[in-house]
Amino acid sequence: MWVGDDTAVLTPATPALLLTTDLLVEGIDFDTAYCNGGDIGWKALAASASDIAAMCGQPSHAVVALGLPPSTTVRWVDEFLDGLMGAAGKWDLAVVGGDFSAAGQIVVTVSMIGRPLKETPVLRSGARPGDFICVTGALGGAAAGLAALRSGAPRTGSVGRLVQRQLRPTARVAEASKLADFDVTAMIDVSDGLAVDLGHLVDESGVGCVVDDSLVPIDPDIASMPDADALRLAVTGGEDFELLCTLRGDQAEAAADALGAVGTRLTTIGTVTTTGRRIGRRTLDEWRSEGWEHLRTR
Amino acid sequence: MWVGDDTAVLTPATPALLLTTDLLVEGIDFDTAYCNGGDIGWKALAASASDIAAMCGQPSHAVVALGLPPSTTVRWVDEFLDGLMGAAGKWDLAVVGGDFSAAGQIVVTVSMIGRPLKETPVLRSGARPGDFICVTGALGGAAAGLAALRSGAPRTGSVGRLVQRQLRPTARVAEASKLADFDVTAMIDVSDGLAVDLGHLVDESGVGCVVDDSLVPIDPDIASMPDADALRLAVTGGEDFELLCTLRGDQAEAAADALGAVGTRLTTIGTVTTTGRRIGRRTLDEWRSEGWEHLRTR
């Protein structure tokens, strides 16, 4: 019951329904030294909306459970609600309820429902050998933003944009809606890093993959950080919330055109194979061993 | 957005849908000195199922977000899942997903969807002067069970049953289904105590109430605790998860007969009025001032 896709597919009635839940914990998933309440509210909502989008779904309603230390200020709660409602407005979904409790640290659970945009929801498990592997937007920006926050670099220019990628991520809801017009065979959002999430996708699908690391779209703002290993950030950095999907190869170009219409790039980075799992010259496992979980908790 | 009924009514499509979320935090909502993992899993599910039942709804699917200290044992998690799935089985609902995180203390969020059993879901706000005020089962048992756990009394006989009322509460799902056949004008589950929850109901409905304290059904096992103030436990004790509803007066007897068919008593304890809020000789506010929140955190 705890494995597989982030979002549950419910078919008790017509139409089917998607249901997901996401837990964010202070000190694990965010650090109040870098994030204000608004950032946390925004990100909690975005993470769940991204889970629904990754099923090729349209999020519609959310409920929020909030555990707060007794020392929490009213200002913090106001900021949290502003961030939460700002994200809800951006993706046109309704926050319809919640629950409060005291807690020793800030904990936020956002649970969300949505409807599938395709007759059959897109799972992680549908990739077939020969499909193209595609990803929206660019990768590594959120991880670079976290590094910048930790370094205390001024939040201006490129660094400011990277920090926003970390604090105020974008759920690819509009992009999921466009992708619904194509034969998307599998999809996942990049929350734990390309290597880890592609690993989930090929594991669940029982297939292999070959990714050309020169094709991986790297967040252009990372170029402003001279010490950054840009490819490593793009392959292992989490929380970009881009959509990683597999598509029938003859549809990749048309899908890229459709996403271009909403201002988002769709990049083909590789191919689904029967066996073997590589990004560039390294295996997925090699990349995973220095992945996001490792980076984040250093 | 944080006020009103515990469960959100969603009408994006036909049929309408109910959505609720409940957060339980170690040290606030439960104490691991008294509760094992199974108790916590059971209660988390029961609390959400009760929220759906209180809307005259049938719970169907749940997702669970679980934050655990790194020191948590696999045995604890096994017990938790056993309790959770045991409760899910009892009320015939599916646990369809979840999320894990590390946390400094145990935090459990259960989010649940269900369908309304009446064409219009029953809210807290529909009580009308002249309606009868009715409650299922008996009250005070869960609070007495908590007192027994704290005293370290042997968990046998009456005390054992009271402890079970605290640790393994029953959501009144079957009873809600029976009540759906009647003109239930408002309903809430007794999670914070009769005085507090009746207060919510009359506040939301903009009405008053007169409850005859001699009619309040007191858990019979409390009689085995010689020092217990049974009426006070029944009026202010929380977590009994009984259903408190208002009904057209001429239906109270038939509704009681219908609930009797599933083995549960429905007791008329008072009447909805236009103004004034009393249980016995005391006002709701007087009762509330020594209510469950106060008792629980002593």
Contact B56, B67 (CB under 8 A): no
The sign one gets for the Cα dihedral B231, B233, B238, B242 is negative
pTM of the model: 0.90
The whole-number pLDDT of residue B5 equals 53
The whole-number pLDDT of residue A48 equals 95
Q: What is the distance between the alpha carbons of residues A113 and A55, in angstroms, rounded to a whole number?
A: 12
Please say if the pLDDT value at position B291 is more than 80: no
Beta sheet of A184-189, edge-to-edge order: A184-189, A243-247, A132-136, A266-273, A208-211, A277-279, A282-283
pLDDT tens string B56-101: 999 999 999 999 999 999 999 999 999 999 999 999 998 888 888 9
Q: Which residues in B lie closer than 8 A to residue A28 (C-beta atoms)?
A: 101-103
The whole-number pLDDT of residue A8 equals 47
The whole-number pLDDT of residue A70 equals 93
Our CA-based measurement puts residue A112 at a distance from the nearest CA of chain B, in whole angstroms, of: 9
Chain A interface, Cβ < 8 Å to B: 1-2, 5-10, 12-13, 15, 17, 19-25, 27-29, 60-61, 63-67, 95-105, 107, 109, 111, 113, 115
Q: What is the distance between the alpha carbons of residues A204 and A198, in angstroms, rounded to a whole number?
A: 10
* Phi, psi values for residue B145, rounded to 5°: -65, -40
Please say if the pLDDT value at position B176 is more than 70: yes
Neighbours of A129 (CB within 10 A): 13
Contact A22, A16 (CB under 8 A): no
Q: What is the distance between the alpha carbons of residues B54 and B179, in angstroms, rounded to a whole number?
A: 10
Contact B11, A89 (CB under 8 A): no
Subunit contact B97:A12, Cβ cutoff 8 A: no
Contact A208, A277 (CB under 8 A): yes
| Full set of structural domains in chain B with CATH | 7-116 (3.30.1330.10), 124-296 (3.90.650.10)
- Local structure of A120: helix, strand or coil: coil
Contact A48, B99 (CB under 8 A): no
Q: Can you list the positions of beta strands (E) in chain A?
A: 7-10, 17-25, 57-68, 94-102, 107-116, 132-136, 184-189, 208-211, 243-247, 266-273, 277-279, 282-283
Region at A157 (left for phi over 0; alpha for psi -120 to 50; beta for the rest): left
pLDDT tens string A27-66: 999 999 999 999 999 999 999 999 999 999 999 999 999 9
The whole-number pLDDT of residue A226 equals 84
Range with the largest mean pLDDT of A9-18, A108-117, A146-155, A269-278: A269-278
Average pLDDT over residues B255-269: 97
pLDDT tens string B204-252: 999 999 999 999 999 999 999 988 999 999 999 999 999 999 999 999 9
pLDDT tens string B93-143: 988 888 889 999 999 999 999 888 988 888 899 999 999 999 999 999 999
Subunit contact A24:B101, Cβ cutoff 8 A: yes
Subunit contact A19:B61, Cβ cutoff 8 A: yes
**What does the mean pLDDT of chain A come to?**
91
Query: Which pLDDT band holds residue A116 (cuts at 50, 70, 90)?
Result: confident
Quote the DSSP letter at residue B108. E
Contact A287, A236 (CB under 8 A): yes
Please say if the pLDDT value at position A228 is more than 60: yes
Chain B interface, Cβ < 8 Å to A: 1-2, 5-10, 12-13, 15, 17, 19-25, 27-29, 60-61, 63-67, 95-105, 107, 109, 111, 113, 115
Average pLDDT over residues A224-253: 95
Give the best residue of A5, A6, A9, A19 to mutate against chain B (max B CB count within 10 A): A19
The whole-number pLDDT of residue A3 equals 39
Q: What is the distance between the alpha carbons of residues B168 and B151, in angstroms, rounded to a whole number?
A: 19
Please say if the pLDDT value at position B9 is more than 50: no
Structure tokens at A47: 């993470």
**A115 compared with B14, residue with greater pLDDT:** A115
Please say if the pLDDT value at position A141 is more than 90: yes
Q: What is the distance between the alpha carbons of residues B133 and B212, in angstroms, rounded to a whole number?
A: 10
Please say if the pLDDT value at position B197 is more than 50: yes
Question: Cis peptide before A15, with omega less than 30 degrees from 0?
Answer: yes
The residue of chain A nearest to residue B16, with distances taken between CA atoms, is A13
Quote the DSSP letter at residue B162. H
Q: Which residues in B lie closer than 8 A to residue A64 (C-beta atoms)?
A: 21
Our CA-based measurement puts residue B295 at a distance from the nearest CA of chain A, in whole angstroms, of: 16
**A13 compared with A145, residue with greater pLDDT:** A145
